[in-house]
Amino acid sequence: MTDKTSRDSVVADWPLGAVVTGLRQVRREWRERQGRAPDLGSRELPAHHAIHEVVDALCGILFPMRLGPPDLTKESEDYYVGHQLGHALTVLHGQVKLELNYRASHAPTSEHDAEARALVKRFATLLPELRRQLDQDVIAAYRGDPAATCVDEILICYPGVLAIIHHRIAHEFYKAGLPLVARIVAEKAHSATGIDIHPGATIGHQFFIDHGTGVVIGETAIIGDRVRLYQAVTLGAVRFDENGDGSLKKGEPRHPIVEDDVVIYAGATVLGRITIGQGSTIGGNVWLTRSVPAGSQITQAMLRQSHEGDG
């Protein structure tokens, strides 16, 4: 028996038909429960691999001599940026149109094509300002880390900078009403760095995450300028309000407001719609669920004493 015959006989032993039929039935049941279209038509949702391709291209477009191809020269920089930008925006247009169609009950229209084109054009015009903002983030990281040898090391090596590049891009999609595209961009960085920033979070200028692994920043968090976070910091929700049917309310302000010039050290957990006043320092492993005024210095020891005094 030849190898090919052996492989074919093995394949023939699998219950492929029954499994394919069973999976088709499960898909139909799911789509019926969700009010989805039947098993007809093309792809309905944006594709991870396409969005990832766009984001990788955007990183090279924003920083061509650092995050672009290794053989790029300064003489060909503009050509590379223009070529990559044209391709990336074309792919992005297709993915944005998919999300708009999906949002409109899976009813593709020419209006969605025009709307998608307008959204992508607007995003493209934001890229120069986005680059300026990211330059400030890189400088903040260089100034905030005594181990950094140069700004180029920050840009090409630091996970916190990779996460904020993705977040700045994702946040623009989020503001444009494209939460699926935005979330795919955010989760790409989350998978690569262990830093989980919801694309809805509002983050000011000169933001720096040092080390970064385990950082979580919730959807409605608002972070001011020149804020620095260390690894395993959580800016989360203390509780979740429910609707009458028991489902969770969406979009409610439930995450912290961190004002300008705040430092939050490793392992700190800051929960709820509280305000960390300007210039405050939150120590490592602190668990905080109340607002603190500007200039506060919060440590575990202080919180223990406060609780003992309350008792």
pLDDT in tens, 209-265: 999 999 999 999 999 999 999 999 999 999 777 787 777 778 789 999 999 999 999
The 3-state DSSP class for residue 81 equals helix
220 in Cβ contact with 200 (< 8 Å): yes
Mean pLDDT, to the nearest integer, of 71-96?
Answer: 97
Say how far apart CA 110 and CA 79 lie, in whole Å.
32
Q: Does the pLDDT at position 40 exceed 80?
A: no
pLDDT in tens, 189-201: 999 999 999 999 9
Q: Does the pLDDT at position 36 exceed 80?
A: no
pLDDT at 188: 98
Residue 95 CB coordination number (10 Å):
24
pLDDT at 9: 55
pLDDT at 246: 72
282 in Cβ contact with 267 (< 8 Å): no
Mean pLDDT, to the nearest integer, of 152-170?
Answer: 97
Q: Does the pLDDT at position 204 exceed 90?
A: yes
pLDDT at 37: 64
229 in Cβ contact with 210 (< 8 Å): yes
pLDDT in tens, 94-150: 999 999 988 886 555 567 899 999 999 999 999 999 999 999 999 999 999 999 999
Phi, psi angle pair for 62, to nearest 5°: -70, -35
Out of 40-44, 86-90, 296-300, least confident range: 40-44
Of the candidates 120, 43, 65, 133, the one whose C-alpha atom is nearest the C-alpha of residue 88 is 120
Q: Does the pLDDT at position 298 exceed 70?
A: yes
The 3-state DSSP class for residue 125 equals helix
Amino acid letter, 171? H
Say how far apart CA 69 and CA 88 lie, in whole Å.
15
pLDDT at 30: 87
Q: CB-based contacts of 92: which residues, under 8 Å, 6+ apart? A: 54, 120, 123, 181
Q: CB-based contacts of 122: which residues, under 8 Å, 6+ apart? A: 176
pLDDT at 11: 56
Q: Does the pLDDT at position 6 exceed 60?
A: no
58 in Cβ contact with 169 (< 8 Å): yes
Q: Does the pLDDT at position 274 exceed 80?
A: yes
**Whether pTM exceeds 0.85:** yes
141 in Cβ contact with 30 (< 8 Å): no
Q: Is the dihedral of CA 221, 210, 132, 69 positive or negative?
A: negative
pLDDT at 77: 97
Torsion of CA 155, 157, 160, 165, to 10 degrees: 40
**Mean pLDDT, rounded, of the chain:** 91
> Domains in the chain, please, with CATH?
41-195 (1.10.3130.10), 214-311 (2.160.10.10)
Say how far apart CA 19 and CA 4 lie, in whole Å.
24
pLDDT band at residue 176, thresholds of 50, 70 and 90?
A: very high
